[in-house]
Amino acid sequence: MARIVMKFGGTSVADIDRIRNVARHVKREVDAGHEVAVVVSAMSGKTNELVGWTKAADAMHDAREYDAVVASGEQVTSGLLAITLQSMGINARSWQGWQIPIHTDNSHGAARILEIDGSEIIKRMGEGQVAVVAGFQGLGPDNRIATLGRGGSDTSAVAIAAAVKADRCDIYTDVDGVYTTDPRIEPKARRLKKVGFEEMLEMASLGSKVLQVRSVELAMVFKVRTFVRSSFVDPDAPGMGDFLNPPGTLICDEEEIVEQEVVTGIAYAKDEAQISLRRVADRPGVSAAIFGPLAETHINVDMIVQNISEDGSRTDMTFTVPTGDLEKAQKVLEDQKDKVGFDVIQSESGLVKVSVIGVGMRSHAGVAATAFKALAEKGINIKAITTSEIKISILIDGAYGELAVRTLHSAYGLDKK
Ligand code: ASP
Ligand code: MG
């Protein structure tokens, strides 16, 4: 017998039929004798609709009232799933974030979980009751509902799993696991059996949309074994209830992964824009003068490349921002022109960042060279490169994005195993 947190995303609870299907997944685990808590998202499309309504009511709305509105989607699905489970003879009860409570900070609309009191849920699970928890929400210090940012119910699920000391957090979604790359781009992509927390964190931040980045951070910190699997299969198909080896991808500690490959996956992020400041004064304080104001404007700067100046007086600074923020960023920089002391701003949008990820890079040489050679053979020009211990990110022209993904996927033999 184990303790499991099961999380179901928006497409998995999109209508009453889908909710009934989810209830059958829950019933399977309950019937196997496990203690179960469930976390649900809003029905797919619902949160977008609610966000749209708050904007239509007033574009400058109060963030606390935004939260009161958008948290309602999860309230609906938690109640509906509890009703459905009860109709199947399962003892179930819905929980809103404030009832548990899930304490958050005061950043309405993008709150962070501070603490969860798991005691009541643990007690009820012990009595055989299934807790159906509304994801995406908690209780702020102002005693008001706070939401966790879009995609936040993944984070709710991992946090609840940590709070109740679950053996595993199963994230049910519309894909059946984490793949070596996006199968829509490379049909030869393979489902991974296991991925390390750190690798998954890179994949999530670098464009893979399977899990909210924050949820992976939390899973890594609290060592929550997190399992990505599909709700779009017959809940009673063979193997689905196999606790030790169900179909899907386990996100876990590196030590649990015995056969570690050098490269685990290829991620890509579209709509990147590049900004180059030419002939920037080469003196202390210049980077702060460039990136400080961008940060204050909430522009997310990603790759940063600064060259060493030839004569110690002027250098070039290149970095990337989301294409949607390009205009705003240019405006901020123009305003800083005197302070920074650069000649011109050059920019290019519609770029793609392709990343090669794998903890094996730590101990293998030549991993980057393989990527450069493979891209060169396809005539793909590299605009910028950044690396960390476990990833290489390459910025290229948007038109070559998919070709680059396929090229790198096969260069590291990911389609073969
Ligand atoms: N319903 C929320 C959203 O659409 C939270 C979630 O689904 O994870 O962002
Ligand atoms: Mg989601």
248 labelled ligand-binding: no
Q: How far apart are the first and last CA of the chain?
A: 34
179 labelled ligand-binding: yes
Q: What is the CA(9)–ligand 2 centre distance, in A?
A: 5
Q: What is the CA(154)–ligand 1 centre distance, in A?
A: 8
Backbone torsions φ then ψ of 156, nearest 5 degrees: -55, -45
Domains and CATH numbers, the chain: 3-255 (3.40.1160.10), 265-411 (3.30.2130.10)
User: Which residues contact ligand 1 via a Cβ below 6 A?
Assistant: 9-10, 41-42, 47, 73, 135-136, 150-154
9 labelled ligand-binding: yes
Whose CA is closest to atom 8 on ligand 1? 151
In the sheet that holds 344-357, the strands lie side by side as 304-306, 314-322, 265-281, 344-357, 391-397, 384-388
Pick the atom of ligand 1 nearest to 212's CA: 8
Whose CA is closest to atom 9 on ligand 1? 150
10 labelled ligand-binding: yes
- Tell me what pLDDT residue 404 has: 98
Which residue in 270, 264, 204, 269 sits closest to 409, CA to CA?
264
Mean pLDDT, each 10-residue run in order, the chain (417 residues): 97 98 98 97 98 96 97 98 98 98 97 96 96 98 97 97 98 94 94 95 85 95 96 95 93 86 93 95 92 94 90 91 96 92 94 95 92 98 94 96 97 88
Q: 268: which residues sit within 8 A by CB, 6+ positions away?
A: 181, 182, 185, 206, 207, 352, 353, 354, 355, 401, 404, 405
Q: What is the CA(149)–ligand 1 centre distance, in A?
A: 8
Pick the atom of ligand 1 nearest to 151's CA: 8
- Tell me what pLDDT residue 417 has: 63
User: Which of 74, 75, 102, 136 gets mutated to test ligand 1 (max ligand atoms within 8 A of its CB)?
Assistant: 136
Query: Closest ligand to 72 CA?
Result: 1
Q: What is the CA(155)–ligand 2 centre distance, in A?
A: 10
Which residue in 147, 141, 157 sits closest to 69, CA to CA?
147
- Bridge pairing between strands 168-173 and 226-230: parallel
Cα–Cα distances (Å) from 334 to 288, 331, 358, in that order, read 15, 5, 39
402 labelled ligand-binding: no
Whose CA is closest to atom 5 on ligand 1? 151
391 labelled ligand-binding: no
297 labelled ligand-binding: no
CB hemisphere CA count around 341 (13 angstroms): 9
Pick the atom of ligand 1 nearest to 156's CA: 8
173 labelled ligand-binding: yes
* Cis peptide leading into residue 101 (ω within 30°): yes
- Tell me what pLDDT residue 56 has: 97
User: Which of 8, 72, 145, 150 gets mutated to test ligand 1 (max ligand atoms within 8 A of its CB)?
Assistant: 150
- Tell me what pLDDT residue 311 has: 85
Pick the atom of ligand 1 nearest to 136's CA: 5
Q: What is the CA(215)–ligand 1 centre distance, in A?
A: 13
Contact of 84 with 113, CB cutoff 8 Å: no
Pick the atom of ligand 1 nearest to 9's CA: 7
pTM comes to 0.90
Pick the atom of ligand 1 nearest to 154's CA: 8
**Burial class, 299, CB count within 10 angstroms (exposed 0-12 / middle 13-18 / buried 19+):** middle
315 labelled ligand-binding: no
Ligand 2 ion: residues within 5 Å (CB): 9, 151
User: Which of 13, 39, 47, 155 gets mutated to test ligand 1 (max ligand atoms within 8 A of its CB)?
Assistant: 47
Pick the atom of ligand 1 nearest to 153's CA: 8
